[in-house]
Amino acid sequence: MDLEGKCCSLHTIGGIVFGYLANYVYTAGLGMFSGIATLIFLFIGAVISGHLSAKLFGESSLNQKQWLSCGVLPFFLVAIVVWILKYNNLI
Distance (Å, whole) CA 38 – CA 18: 10
Dihedrals phi, psi of 44, to nearest 5 degrees: -65, -35
pLDDT in the model for residue 70: 86
Q: Is the model's pLDDT at 79 over the cut of 90?
A: yes
Percent helix / strand / coil, the chain, rounded to 5? 80, 0, 20
Q: Which domain holds residue 8?
A: 3-87
Domain count, the chain: 1
Give residue-wise pLDDT tens across range 25-76: 988 888 889 889 999 999 999 999 988 888 888 878 888 888 888 889 999 9
